[in-house]
């Protein structure tokens, strides 16, 4: 009996395209599904130290749901690095200004915080409306 763990080779990785509709679904639920697909955890050939995940398209980010009072109480912050350079924005303001950025931040936080995570994030496409420009890749609908 062979007790060695199988590790997939780069030439054996098969990538698919999936589309997720975020219409009236909670932000975190959509982000976790997207992160799972990007990492490749849904595949039997999942390898933690390699990018074996698929491409993900998320549409209707402008219609994503936030539970509770998160629209007014959740605050997104970033700092320019200068004194007094902290910018704050509520979830409602960010959703109106750039719903794609809200989804990107949610998914990015669920991926590894290293070069492998940055590589995985490049396979994510986010759109505020229902139209996307990746029809040529024939994406499959991912239901959850």
Averaged pLDDT for residues 38-61: 93
Contact of 141 with 69, CB cutoff 8 Å: no
Q: Does pLDDT of 1 surpass 70?
A: no
Domains contained in the chain, number: 1
Position 2 pLDDT exceeds 80: no
44 Cβ contact list (under 8 Å, min separation 6): none
pLDDT number for residue 3? 77
Tokens describing residue 88 = 């704050």
Which residues does residue 19 pair with via DSSP β-bridges, in sequence order?
57, 141
Separation in Å, CA 30 to CA 1, 6, 101, 140: 41, 30, 14, 16
Helix (H, G, I), strand (E, B) or coil at 40: coil
Q: What is the mean pLDDT of residues 126-130?
A: 92
In a domain, 4, yes or no: no
Cβ 88 vs Cβ 2: under 8 Å: no
Q: What is the DSSP letter of 120?
A: H
* Residue 19 in domain: yes
Q: Which residues span the domain enclosing 23? A: 14-67+95-141
Average pLDDT over residues 128-140: 91
State the pTM of this model: 0.90
Residue 19's CATH number: 3.90.1180.10
Mean pLDDT of 19-23: 94
d(CA 110, CA 1): 37
Mean pLDDT, the chain, integer:
93
Q: Does residue 117 sit within a domain?
A: yes
Mean pLDDT in residue range 25-35: 95
pLDDT of residue 39: 96
Per-residue confidence band for 28, with pLDDT thresholds at 50, 70 and 90: very high
Query: What pLDDT is stored for residue 5 in this prediction?
Result: 80
Q: With 70 as the cut, is the pLDDT of residue 111 above it? A: yes
Report d(CA 117, CA 79) in Å as an integer.
22
Residue 61 belongs to a domain: yes
Interval 73-99 mean pLDDT: 96
């Amino acid at each position: 009996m062979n007790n060695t763990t199988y590790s997939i080779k780069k030439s054996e990785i098969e990538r698919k395209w999936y589309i997720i509709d975020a219409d009236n679904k909670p932000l975190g639920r959509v982000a976790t599904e997207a992160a799972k697909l990007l990492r490749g955890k849904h595949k039997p050939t999942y390898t933690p130290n390699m990018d074996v995940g698929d491409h993900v398209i998320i549409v209707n980010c402008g219609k994503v749901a936030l539970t509770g009072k998160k629209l007014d109480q959740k605050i997104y912050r970033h700092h320019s690095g200068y004194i007094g350079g902290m910018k704050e924005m509520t979830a409602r303001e960010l959703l109106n200004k750039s719903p794609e950025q809200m989804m990107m931040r949610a998914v990015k936080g669920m991926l590894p915080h290293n070069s492998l995570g940055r590589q995985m994030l490049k396979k994510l496409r986010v759109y505020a409306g229902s139209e996307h420009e990746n029809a040529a890749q024939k994406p499959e609908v991912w239901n959850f």
